[in-house]
């Protein structure tokens, strides 16, 4: 059950250490938002904005977050959608949904790491062509043999 059915947005530079219940703190500078779980359990829920994580929409009056907020790591297992400043109960998580959610979370993180990894690999190897050529020759040699 949700205790808070509305979240009032607060645009801030830094997320405060102590959060007020019923408020959604949004930091554009750090591309993240934070609020206390709407069930009233008092757990802090951080929702970073990124292509693999949450997307924040501000229509000039209210804030929406996409996708839903699933606090499956919290004891309460709350699951809700924040749309136009309203908190809509999205139902409890089943163990199956939690597994899917965690797998998605992991996949998104791996994807991010891969992107970072390939970028730094390109920077670390200024001339990748000879390396690639060598490996093709190695493959060809192995094939001939
Ligand atoms: Zn909660």
Q: How far is the CA of 44 from the centre of ligand 1 (A)?
A: 9
Q: How many CB atoms lie within 10 A of CB 145?
A: 5
Please give the mean pLDDT across all residues of the chain: 81
Q: How far is the CA of 92 from the centre of ligand 1 (A)?
A: 11
Q: How far is the CA of 112 from the centre of ligand 1 (A)?
A: 28
Whether pLDDT at 99 is above 80: no
Q: How far is the CA of 20 from the centre of ligand 1 (A)?
A: 14
pLDDT number for residue 137 = 67
53-85 confidence digits (pLDDT tens): 999 999 999 999 999 998 777 788 888 999 999
Mean pLDDT, range 22-50, rounded to an integer: 95
Q: How far is the CA of 100 from the centre of ligand 1 (A)?
A: 20
Q: How far is the CA of 76 from the centre of ligand 1 (A)?
A: 5
In this prediction, residue 123 has a pLDDT band, given cuts at 50, 70 and 90, of very low
Whether pLDDT at 32 is above 60: yes
Mean pLDDT, range 85-114, rounded to an integer: 74
Query: How far is CA 53 from its chain centroid?
Result: 3
Q: How many CB atoms lie within 10 A of CB 48?
A: 13
Q: How far is the CA of 40 from the centre of ligand 1 (A)?
A: 6
pLDDT number for residue 115 = 57
Mean pLDDT, range 3-19, rounded to an integer: 96
Q: How far is the CA of 13 from the centre of ligand 1 (A)?
A: 25
| Integer angstrom CA distances of residue 141 from 40, 128, 134 | 66, 20, 10
d(CA 23, CA 79): 17
pLDDT number for residue 131 = 47
Q: How far is the CA of 72 from the centre of ligand 1 (A)?
A: 9
Whether pLDDT at 30 is above 60: yes
């Amino acid at each position: 059950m949700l205790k808070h059915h509305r979240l009032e947005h607060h645009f801030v530079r830094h997320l405060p250490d102590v959060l007020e219940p019923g408020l959604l703190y949004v930091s554009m500078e750090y591309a993240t938002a934070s609020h206390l779980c709407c069930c009233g359990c008092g757990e802090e829920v951080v929702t970073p904005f990124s292509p693999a994580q949450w997307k924040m929409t501000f229509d000039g009056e209210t804030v929406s977050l996409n996708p839903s907020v699933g606090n499956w790591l919290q004891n309460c297992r709350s699951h809700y959608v924040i749309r136009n400043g309203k908190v809509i109960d999205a139902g409890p998580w089943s163990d199956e949904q939690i597994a899917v959610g965690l797998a998605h979370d992991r996949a998104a993180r791996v994807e991010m790491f891969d992107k970072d990894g390939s970028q730094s690999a390109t920077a670390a190897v200024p001339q990748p062509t000879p390396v690639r050529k060598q490996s093709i020759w190695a493959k060809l040699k192995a094939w001939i043999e």
